[in-house]
Structure 1
């Protein structure tokens, strides 16, 4: 797990994406490791809270288009789905501490967490459409479940950045603080959660998720089908080439 830092801080397990040179862009391998760590934490009675964060200047900029294996387009999607399932299933509160960009599947992973604490430097972006793709990682359910269809559709179709302060106003995240207050606010939050009744937290998380995210599996399946087709499209391959050449892609609709 070269690209993930993981350490225990008392009852808090801190998991940090550690590819700062690419703004913590994720690969299939990184996502598989992340899902495994989250799942294993659920079997450790000494872990009361999980924290997900990113090293350097970002939470995560999404899937790494520079190293993706385009011959197996579904691999990264399925790995991201395993992460989202693990976050939902683990019987512990999972807190995302977000600064800088949370874009693409990085946005999906952050919003899958139970509480999202952000710095004012953070922004959220369903950037998929900008490279000829559709939201995945459960975002087609997670986003509208929090902010409604109209706002979710605007984020998904336009691919624009949503500043953390607006995300908080819309109800997409739990709380936004100044950058220098992110770590103190995170420590206060994890202390409260670690001292709460763990069985009550687990049952509450399960019940709220069942009531609000009951269609998650259906959403993941729809995303996998749609995204797999789009990953084979000429538009996506044109976008990958444009990304490498640092230019805006021209989409032909095929």
Structure 2
């Protein structure tokens, strides 16, 4: 009997949707899920048909964090485990030169919260929630949470959320800047697809450069950001997308950024 794949992959209108597929465990992560997701993201980055990647969960949960049963009794340190699984995944998401949407359809806990925060765009369902659950088992937030969360909500609020393991619902997530939009559960997947297709119609090369600039600016001085902007602007200006955008503007028509050259 063939077991269900831990990651489901579907491509529609330039949007590659990667679905965490352990719904009976609220998509708690094991090694197979994490390594497969990283591989699927890398493949999406290489595929010229893919313009936007969506990460979401099957069933009622987005990702309930680490499947503790999967690591119980394993002869591997915490550091080794993170460097083997979660850290390469988060680096792949942030380094991908295509937009990544995290579509949070249910609970995002622990490392699942880190995954939810890692997207370039975060879309939530009405039943979604986020909880930095690490302190409940006397661990430190990992998989990028200590980097993402304080940049979104500030040090003090981030510390409180981590120290008290407080659950954040959709409206508070919107207020705090943890997501960009919240959609009703019953139309969530359709809304995510429509949003992703809108994004897929935008200039892919320019958005990849924009993502690179923003990532760098988070850890750079103003002078460094200005220098990188100038460098990347030249790369954008030399690309056919720029010519198409200018031509379309002059012709008073919508630009076609999906054509090649």
Check whether TM > 0.5.
yes
Residue of structure 1 equivalent to 2:154:
148
Residue of structure 2 equivalent to 1:226:
none
2:9 counterpart of 1:3: no
Which structure has the bigger radius of gyration?
2
Q: Normalization by structure 2: what TM-score? A: 0.79
Separation in 2, partners of 1:137, 1:169: 23
Query: Of 71, 74, 89, which residue of structure 1 is paired with 2:75?
Result: 71
The answer as to whether partners of 1:4 and 1:17 remain within 8 angstroms in 2 is: yes
CA RMSD, 1 decimal: 1.4
Residue of structure 2 equivalent to 1:218:
none
Equivalent pairs, count? 214
Separation in 2, partners of 1:28, 1:183: 26
5 Å-filtered alignment, 1:1-254, equals 2-69=5-72, 70-73=74-77, 74-78=79-83, 79-212=85-218
Runs (4+) off by over 6 Å: none
For structure 2, the residue ranges without an aligned partner over 5 or more in a row are 221-261
Q: After superposition, what is the alpha-carbon deviation per residue over 1:154-208, rounded to whole angstroms, capped at 9, x for unaligned? A: 1111111111210111111111122123123212211111110101110111111
Separation in 1, partners of 2:15, 2:86: 23
The offset of 1:4, in angstroms, is 0.9
Q: After superposition, what is the alpha-carbon deviation per residue over 1:99-143, rounded to whole angstroms, capped at 9, x for unaligned? A: 210000011011111101001211001101111111000100100
Separation in 2, partners of 1:122, 1:75: 31
Q: Normalization by structure 1: what TM-score? A: 0.81
**Relative to 1, partners in 2 of residues 1:213 and 1:62: Cα closer, same or farther, differing over 3 Å?**
farther
The answer as to whether partners of 2:6 and 2:32 remain within 8 angstroms in 1 is: no
For structure 1, the residue ranges without an aligned partner over 5 or more in a row are 215-254
